[in-house]
C-alpha cells in the first residue's frame, strides 16, 4: 500500500477471491465497475485510462501484473520497471478505487494449461516480431476480464494491434464487457508515452520524436494522394532511418479492424509502425482518414 499527502492508501487485493468479494459488494449496491489492466510502471497514459474509466463507471479497479506469458525469452521481462508503491499512489490520485496486484502463482497456478489464441489478427506485425506475444496478452486479458467481470475495460490505442486482438476475443468468447479504446497520450514533441521510453538514452530520445512526425506526414500525404500507399510507406521507412532510427520493423497502412495491408485508401485505415532505437522498440499508430 502507498500513500501521498492528498490521498488515502489505495486498497490492494492479491487473490482472485478477494477481488471478486470486493466487486460483489459494489454490485450489491448496483454500481457499475470499470477495469484498467496494466503492467505497472504507470505514466500519464495509464492515468488517462483510469480517468476515462471513472467517466464510464462508478468504481474503478486497476490491475498491475507484469505478465511473463507475453514476453519472449530474450525480451525485457526481468528488467521491466516495477514500482508498486509508486503505481498505487498514482492510481489513487487518478481516482482508482482498488488495485488488483496478483503474483505469478495467483495468475498461473501449478498445472495451468490453457491459452487464448486470436488467430489471424495475431499473426502479422507485432506477432511476427514477438512470436507468442499476443497469445500471452489474450490469455491474461481473458483471465482478468473473467476474474473482475467489469462493465467496461479501458485499453490504450497506442497498442493498436493489442486493442484489436482484445476486441476480437471479447466478441468471439461472448464476454459481456464493453472495450473502450482510449487515445494515445503524447509528449509535447509527439512521442507516445510508454513505460519503455525510460530505456532511451538522451540521444535516442531526441531521435524518437521523428516517429510521430513521420506518421503525421504519411497521413498528410495520403490525404492528397489516397492511391500512393506503397510509395508513401517506403518514403516513410526511409525517413525514419534518415532521422536516426536503427531499424524499422514495419510501417504499414492497414485496414483499421482486420489490420490487413491496404493498397489504396478506400476504407477506415490506420498507419502502424514499430521502429528500433538500439534494443528499444517504439510503437506508434495513427488514424488515416478516408478522403471524402
For the chain, the distance separating the N- and C-terminal CA atoms, rounded to the nearest angstrom, is 52
Task: List Cα–Cα distances, 98 to 43, 54, 129, 147, in angstroms.
Answer: 18, 12, 35, 14
Q: For the chain, give the secondary structure using H, E and C.
A: CCCECCECCCEEECCHHHHHHHHHHHHHCCCCEEEEEECCCCCHHHHHHHHHHHHHCCEEEEEECCCHHHCCCCCCCCCCCCCHHHHHHHHHHHCCCEEECCCHHHHCCCCCCCCCCCHHHHHCCHHHHCCCHHHHHHHHHHHHHHHHCCCEEEEECCCHHHHHHHHHHHHHCCCCCEEEEECCCECCCCCECCHHHHHCCHHHHHHHHHHHHHHHHHHHHHHHCCCCHHHHHHHHHHHHHHHCCCEEEEEEEEECCCCCECCCCCCCEEEEEEEEECCEEEEEEEEECCCC
Where in 106-165 is the site for ligand PAF (CB under 6 A)? 137, 140-141, 159, 162
Contact letters for ligand PAF, residues 33-52 (x by CB under 6 A): ----xxx-------------
- Least CB distance from residue 202 to ligand PAF, whole Å? 25
Query: Any known ligand binding at 46?
Result: yes
Stretch in the footprint of ligand PAF (CB under 6 A) among 32-40, 101-109, 168-176, 213-221: 32-40
Nearer to ligand PAF, 159 or 284 (CB): 159
For residue 185, say whether it is annotated as part of any ligand binding site: yes
Q: Is 202 annotated as a binding residue?
A: no
191 marked ligand binding residue: no
Per-residue interface string for the shown chain with ligand PAF, residues 48-87, x marking contact by CB under 6 A: -------------------x--x-----------------
Binding residues for ligand PAF, total number by CB under 6 A: 10
User: What is the nearest approach in angstroms of ligand PAF to the Cβ of residue 158?
Assistant: 8
- Draw the binding track, 175-214, toward ligand PAF (x: CB under 6 A; -: no contact): ----------------------------------------
- Residue (56 or 230) nearer to ligand PAF, CB: 56
248 is in an annotated binding site: no
User: Hey, what's the torsion of the CAs at 140, 145, 148, 154, to 10 degrees?
Assistant: 100
| Least CB distance to ligand PAF at residue 78 (A) | 16
Cell 496478452 appears where?
Answer: 137
Residues involved in catalysis? 46
User: In whole angstroms, how close is the CB of 9 to ligand PAF at the nearest point?
Assistant: 23
In the complex with ligand PAF, the residue whose CB is nearer, 153 or 208, is: 153
Q: Quote the distance between the C-alpha of residue 280 and its chain's center.
A: 16
Q: Work out how close the CB of 121 gets to ligand PAF at its nearest, in angstroms, rounded to a whole number.
A: 14
Q: 45 labelled as ligand-binding?
A: yes
Known binding-site residues for (R)-pantoate equal 70, 162
Binding site for ligand PAF (CB under 6 A): 37-39, 67, 70, 137, 140-141, 159, 162
Known binding-site residues equal 39-46, 70, 156-159, 162, 185, 193-196
Known binding-site residues for ATP equal 39-46, 156-159, 185, 193-196
Amino acid at each position: 500500500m502507498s500513500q501521498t499527502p492528498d490521498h488515502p492508501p489505495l486498497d490492494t487485493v492479491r487473490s482472485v477471491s478477494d477481488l471478486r468479494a470486493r466487486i460483489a459488494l459494489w454490485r450489491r449496491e448496483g454500481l457499475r465497475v470499470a477495469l484498467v489492466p496494466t503492467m505497472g510502471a504507470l505514466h500519464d497514459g495509464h492515468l488517462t485510462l483510469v480517468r476515462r474509466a471513472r467517466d464510464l463507471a462508478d468504481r474503478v479497479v486497476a490491475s498491475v501484473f507484469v505478465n511473463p506469458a507475453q514476453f519472449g525469452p530474450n525480451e525485457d521481462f526481468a528488467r521491466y520497471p516495477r514500482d508498486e508503491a509508486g503505481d498505487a499512489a498514482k492510481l489513487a490520485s487518478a481516482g482508482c478505487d482498488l488495485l488488483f496486484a496478483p503474483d505469478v502463482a495467483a495468475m498461473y497456478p501449478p498445472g495451468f494449461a490453457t491459452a487464448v489464441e486470436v488467430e489471424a489478427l495475431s499473426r502479422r506485425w507485432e506477432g511476427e516480431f514477438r512470436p507468442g506475444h499476443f497469445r500471452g496478452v489474450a490469455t491474461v486479458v481473458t483471465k482478468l476480464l473473467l476474474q473482475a467481470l467489469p462493465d467496461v475495460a479501458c485499453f490504450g490505442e497506442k497498442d493498436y494491434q493489442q486493442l484489436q486482438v482484445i476486441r476480437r476475443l471479447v466478441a468471439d468468447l461472448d464476454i459481456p464487457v464493453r472495450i473502450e479504446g482510449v487515445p494515445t497520450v503524447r509528449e509535447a514533441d509527439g512521442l507516445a508515452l510508454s513505460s519503455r521510453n525510460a530505456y532511451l538514452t538522451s540521444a535516442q530520445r531526441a531521435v524518437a520524436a521523428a516517429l510521430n512526425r513521420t506518421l503525421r506526414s504519411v497521413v498528410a500525404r495520403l490525404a492528397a494522394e489516397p492511391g500512393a500507399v506503397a510509395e508513401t510507406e517506403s518514403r516513410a521507412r526511409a525517413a525514419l532511418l534518415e532521422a536516426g532510427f536503427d531499424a524499422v520493423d514495419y510501417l504499414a497502412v492497414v485496414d483499421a479492424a482486420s489490420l490487413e495491408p491496404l493498397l489504396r485508401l478506400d476504407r477506415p485505415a490506420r498507419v502502424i509502425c514499430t521502429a528500433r532505437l538500439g534494443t528499444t522498440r517504439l510503437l506508434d499508430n495513427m488514424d488515416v482518414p478516408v478522403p471524402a
